[in-house]
Amino acid sequence: MGNYESFEYDVLVIGAGGAGLRAAIEASAAGVKVALVCKSLLGKAHTVMAEGGIAAALANVDDRDNWKVHFADTMRGGQYVNNWRMAELHAKEAPARIYELEAWGAVFDRTNDGKILQRNFGGHQYPRLAHVGDRTGLEMIRTLQDHGIHQGIEVHMEHTIVTLLKDGDRIAGAFGYDRERGRFKVFKAKAVVLATGGIGRAYRITSNSWEYTGDGQSLAYHAGAELIDMEFVQFHPTGMVWPPSVMGILVTEGVRGEGGILLNKEGKRFMFADIPDAYKSQTANDPEEGWKYTQGDKNARRPPELLTRDHVSRCIVNEVKAGRGSPHGGVFLDIAWIKEKIPDAPERIKRKLPSMYHQFMQLANLDITREPMEVGPTTHYIMGGVRVDAETQMSNVAGLFAAGEVAAGLHGANRLGGNSLSDLLVFGKRAGEFAANFAKEHDPGEIHDIEIEDGAREALEPFEHGANGAGSSEGPYQVQNALQEMMQNLVGIVRREEEMVRALGELDKFRERSQRVAVSGHREYNPGWHTAVDLKHLLTVSEAITRAAIERKESRGGHFRDDFPNKSAVDAKMNIVLSKAADGSMQIRREPIPEMPQHLKQVIEEMK
C-alpha cells in the first residue's frame, strides 16, 4: 500500500447532511468509534438549503392527523410503489424524531398556545410540516451539529471519498482525498453509512448544490449494491427561471402553502382545469375554498396548486407548450395577491417567507410582496437510490448502510414535500443504530492494497492527460456541461423511448470523453480535478436513470412517458433493480414489490 495516512473506525459515515449527522449521533451514542467524512465544510451540506419544513403527524394544528393519514398520504403520493414498511416506520417514528430535535435545541415556529407550528404542503392532507420560517434545514443542521460535536465524533471535512473498500462480500472501509491538499487517505471501518444525498447535477436545470453528483449511488453500485427506482426523478414545479444565472434555484412550496397561486400569461389560474381522479375528493371546488384551506379552515380542501409535485410540474409544462407561459418560459407564481384578503399582506409575506423575499429581491430585483414571480420546473430530488432493508437500512453488501436521499424505497414514484427531512431523521437514526450493531458484531475486514492503488490511479489519470497530452485537450467542465444538457433534453420531465435510447448512445460517447479529460496544475485547491473525479459518478447515475426509465413503460409519479402516458397494472407491482454485472455492464431486472399486509391495506382504504 502507498504511504497514505490511515484511520481506523467502527463506523464511518460518508456525508454530513441531516441523514449523516443523525446516523453519526446514533452510532456514537451506542458506544462505538465514529467518523464523519464530507465534501464541504461541516454545516454546509445540502440539507442546509431545505426551506419548507419537516413532515410529521404531530397533530398540533389539526387534531385529525395521525400516523395512518401520513402513511396513506405518503403511499398515495408515491403512487403505491413505495416500500410500504419504510412508509409505515417513517409515519410512526417521525413525531418522536421531531420532539427529540426540539429537546436538542431546535427552535421551531410556534402556535399561539406554544406548540410546534405546522404548515400545509402539497399532498399532505393536514398541516404537517414543522418549520422555522423558510429556513428549516439550517436549524436542523445547526441542532444536529451542535449535538453531534459533543458526542466525540471525528470529522474529516472537505474530503471526497472516491471508492469503497471491500473484503470479499463485506465492506472494509473507504478511500478518498482531502480537497485542499489533494492527499489520499484510507479510512478502515467495520461498517460504512452512505448519506451522500442526490444526483441533481446530472441535469442542467436543478435546485441542487454542487455536491449532488450522485457519488453515493455510484460508490454503492460499483461496490456491488443494488439500486432501485432510479427512473423516479422529481422535478419540482417552482424553480426560478429568470435571470439565467439563477435558473433552477428553488422557490419553496411554502409560497403556495401560504396562499400563492399559479397563473398563465392570460392571468388564468390553470391548475383548476386538471385535477387527477385520485385527488378530486380532496381538492377545493373553487379559489375561495382553496384560500380558506391555506388559512387553516379545517372544513376546506386544498387548492390545486398543492397537488403533488409531478402533477403541478406537468401542468406548467403544458401551459408553456401551449404558448401560455410567462416571458422567460415559465408561469407566474403570485403571493402578492393575498393583499386582497389581508391588510398586512407585505409584512406577513416577509415574516413567513423571508428567504424567498430576499432571494427574489437580490437575484431578480423583484419584490414578491408586489409582483408575481416567474417559475418553472427544476430537477430537485431522486426517489431512487441504494436499495436498503427497511428496518436496518443495510444494503445487499454486508456492512454497507445508506440513509437519506441516497437511499431508495420510502417515497416510491414521487416524494411529498417535507418527507425528506423526516426521512433523514427516522432512517438516519436507524442506519446509525444498526451500523453500530454491525460493528460490534464483526471484526474489521482486511484492506486490499490493489483496491487502494486502483482508486488512486483512476483519480490521478486526468493529470496524466494534462501533462503529456495523451488524451484530448477537453476539460472536465465541457464534458459535465454537455452531459447535463443531454440529460435535460433526452431524459427530462417528458420522456420518449427513442430519445432515451439515443441518450444511452450519447452516454457511451461521454464515457469515452470522460476517460480522456485533462486537468492542469497540481492536486492542491484544484476544482477542475474534483470535477473530473465526479464525472464517473454522474455518468453512472445518468445511465441508471436512463436504463430504468426505458424499462418502465408507463407514466407514474416523477416518471412521465409521452409514449406510455397511462399507468400500467403490471408495472404497478414492480421495482426496477440495477446492479453491476461481472463484466462491468449495468444489469437491469424487474422484481415484484412484496404484498402489502392486510392491516396497512385497511389503513389506505380508510383514508380514501
Ligand X SMILES: Cc1cc2nc3c(=O)[nH]c(=O)nc-3n(C[C@H](O)[C@H](O)[C@H](O)COP(=O)(O)OP(=O)(O)OC[C@H]3O[C@@H](n4cnc5c(N)ncnc54)[C@H](O)[C@@H]3O)c2cc1C
The site for ligand X (CB under 6 A) is made up of: 14-20, 37-40, 45-47, 49-53, 136-137, 159-161, 176, 195-197, 207-208, 211, 215, 250, 381, 404-406, 417-421, 424
Residues contacting residue 48 through CB under 8 Å, at least 6 positions apart: 17, 137, 138, 141
Dihedral sign for Cα atoms in the order 359, 360, 364, 367: negative
Instruction: Work out how close the CB of 473 gets to ligand X at its nearest, in angstroms, rounded to a whole number.
Output: 27
Nearer to ligand X, 134 or 571 (CB): 134
Phi, psi of 515 (to 5 degrees): -75, -10
For residues 141 and 42, give the distance between their C-alpha atoms in angstroms, rounded to a whole number. Answer: 9
Catalytic residue, candidates 119, 147, 256, 537: 256
Instruction: Work out how close the CB of 40 gets to ligand X at its nearest, in angstroms, rounded to a whole number.
Output: 5
Instruction: Work out how close the CB of 573 gets to ligand X at its nearest, in angstroms, rounded to a whole number.
Output: 27
In the bound state, the residue with its beta carbon closest to ligand X is 17
For residues 542 and 561, give the distance between their C-alpha atoms in angstroms, rounded to a whole number. Answer: 17
Instruction: Work out how close the CB of 502 gets to ligand X at its nearest, in angstroms, rounded to a whole number.
Output: 29
**131 annotated active-site:** no
**201 annotated active-site:** no
Instruction: Work out how close the CB of 590 gets to ligand X at its nearest, in angstroms, rounded to a whole number.
Output: 27
How many CA atoms does the CB half-sphere of 468 hold within 13 Å?
Answer: 3
Nearer to ligand X, 218 or 264 (CB): 218
444: preceding bond cis by omega (within 30 degrees) = no
Nearer to ligand X, 76 or 561 (CB): 76
Instruction: Work out how close the CB of 566 gets to ligand X at its nearest, in angstroms, rounded to a whole number.
Output: 29
Q: What is the DSSP letter of 142?
A: H
Instruction: Work out how close the CB of 42 gets to ligand X at its nearest, in angstroms, rounded to a whole number.
Output: 8
Crossing angle between the packed helical segments 527-551 and 215-222, to the nearest 10 degrees: 70
For residues 591 and 65, give the distance between their C-alpha atoms in angstroms, rounded to a whole number. Answer: 34
Nearer to ligand X, 309 or 465 (CB): 309
Residue 207 · residue 524 · CB < 8 Å:
no
For residues 50 and 420, give the distance between their C-alpha atoms in angstroms, rounded to a whole number. Answer: 9
Quick one: which H or E segment has residue 162?
Answer: strand 159-167
Nearer to ligand X, 238 or 555 (CB): 238
Phi, psi of 134 (to 5 degrees): -115, 40
Catalytic residue, candidates 236, 311, 537, 552: 236
Instruction: Work out how close the CB of 398 gets to ligand X at its nearest, in angstroms, rounded to a whole number.
Output: 21
Instruction: Work out how close the CB of 283 gets to ligand X at its nearest, in angstroms, rounded to a whole number.
Output: 22
DSSP string, 225-291: --EE-TT-EEEEEEEE-SSGGGTT-B--THHHHTT-EEE-TTS--GGGG---HHHHTTB-SSHHHHH
Q: C-alpha 47: how far from its chain's center?
A: 9
Residues contacting residue 505 through CB under 8 Å, at least 6 positions apart: none
Crossing angle between the packed helical segments 598-606 and 67-77, to the nearest 10 degrees: 90
For residues 571 and 558, give the distance between their C-alpha atoms in angstroms, rounded to a whole number. Answer: 14
Nearer to ligand X, 355 or 396 (CB): 355
Instruction: Work out how close the CB of 482 gets to ligand X at its nearest, in angstroms, rounded to a whole number.
Output: 22
Nearer to ligand X, 207 or 546 (CB): 207
Nearer to ligand X, 195 or 550 (CB): 195
How many CA atoms does the CB half-sphere of 65 hold within 13 Å?
Answer: 24
Burial class (CB in 10 A: 0-12, 13-18, 19+), 581: exposed
Nearer to ligand X, 423 or 543 (CB): 423
Q: What percent of the chain is helix, strand and coil (3-state, nearest 5)?
A: 40, 20, 40
End-to-end CA distance of the chain, in Å?
60
Q: C-alpha 116: how far from its chain's center?
A: 25
Nearer to ligand X, 39 or 561 (CB): 39
What angle (nearest 5°) sits at the alpha carbon of residue 516, between those of residues 510 and 518? 115
Instruction: Work out how close the CB of 443 gets to ligand X at its nearest, in angstroms, rounded to a whole number.
Output: 25
Residue 373 · residue 360 · CB < 8 Å:
yes
Q: Which residue has the cell 492536486?
A: 523
Nearer to ligand X, 538 or 550 (CB): 538
Q: Which of 459-463's residues contact partners 24+ apart within 8 Å by CB, and which partners? A: 459/162, 459/177, 459/184, 459/533, 461/515, 462/517, 462/518, 462/519, 462/528, 462/529, 462/532, 462/533, 463/519, 463/522, 463/523, 463/529
Q: Which residue has the cell 422529481?
A: 234
Positions annotated as catalytic residues are 236, 256
